[in-house]
Amino acid sequence: MNDDSLKTRLSSGTPVLMVNPNHVSPTLCEKLVRSGADSVFIDCEHGLASYEDIHHMAKAARHAGGWGIVRPQNQERSVITRCLNAGADGLMVPLIHTAAIARDVVHHFRYAVPDDYPRKLLIGMIESTEALRNLDEILAVEGIDVFFVGPGDLSQSMGYSPNVKPGERRAAPVIEAVHATLGKIRAAGKAAGTLVVKHDAAQLVAAGAQLLYYHADPFVTQGVREMREIAATPRHSREGGNPRLPDAPGFPPSRE
């Protein structure tokens, strides 16, 4: 594991890349870090990871020189404690709607690892209209290292679908709220983060996002689609005029 910490990188202004492997796989966690991710995201709220999976996946990320950040299923002290004791290098705690919730989370976090919390990263998720209304009070709570704007739950809280089809964008009011919230977080002197995809990463960085969270699956899907398109290209188009041979088994024409 690196001698510095994610806190050190964030405090220096360095962007931090956190990738969700979307699968319970220590090997994939190691591969993602070796490919350039700073940390992997281990999801116990919407994903299938268990406490034992946390142990192995975070350990694999550290072995490769990175970190394992866990999203617990809720804000309960016992859950936060078990995630950290299982080996998480930090937590991204969901549904921080109020300053009171934020203070409780900080207390539980420090209670769980009283001698080690300065090296652990605590991320609070801002993902509801209630949190936006209480943002100033939430940002005043000491002990949260990054405030993460969750666009999916925020969309649902604002009355829109949390899902976005490939190539499409979220509703304009949600995009505006995300950008404005990132700006308020940075203006308060705090580190900000959010979910990014390729087409909006640059704009979100310009808006203030420093912790960039993304999923591995879209890159796998894109890579497979591109390979299928190459395989389905007529041979004469690739080799300069040779007649096309029948499609090879296993490579039907690509579908969007």
Whether the CB-CB separation of 235 and 40 falls below 8 Å is answered with: no
Half-sphere exposure in the Cβ direction for 71 (13 Å, CA): 21
106 has a pLDDT exceeding 80: yes
Report d(CA 78, CA 89) in Å as an integer: 17
DSSP 170-226: --HHHHHHHHHHHHHHHHTT-EEEEE--TTTHHHHHHHT--EEEEESHHHHHHHHHH
Count CB neighbours of 171 within 10 A.
Answer: 14
Report d(CA 143, CA 103) in Å as an integer: 8
Q: What is the DSSP letter of 138?
A: H
Count CB neighbours of 192 within 10 A.
Answer: 24
Domain residue spans of the chain:
6-215
The set of residues, in sequence order, having a beta carbon less than 8 Å from that of 157 and lying 6+ positions away, is 127, 128, 129, 130
Cross-strand bridge partners of residue 213: 18, 195
Give the mean pLDDT of 153-160: 97
Residue type at 154 in one-letter notation: L
Report d(CA 189, CA 62) in Å as an integer: 29
Residue type at 142 in one-letter notation: E
Token look-up 């300053």 returns 99
pLDDT tens-place string over residues 69-81: 999 999 999 999 9
**What sign does the CA torsion over 61, 65, 66, 67 have?**
positive
% of the chain surpassing 90 pLDDT: 81
Give the mean pLDDT of 178-185: 98
Token look-up 């769980």 returns 112
Per-residue pLDDT, 84: 98
CATH fold label, 6-215: TIM Barrel (3.20.20)
Give the mean pLDDT of 88-110: 98
Please, which pLDDT band fits residue 99 given cuts at 50, 70 and 90? very high
pTM beyond cutoff 0.85: yes
pLDDT tens-place string over residues 1-22: 455 689 999 999 999 999 999 9
250 has a pLDDT exceeding 50: no
% of the chain surpassing 70 pLDDT: 90
Q: Which of 91-105, 176-190, 199-213, 225-239 has the lowest mean pLDDT?
A: 225-239
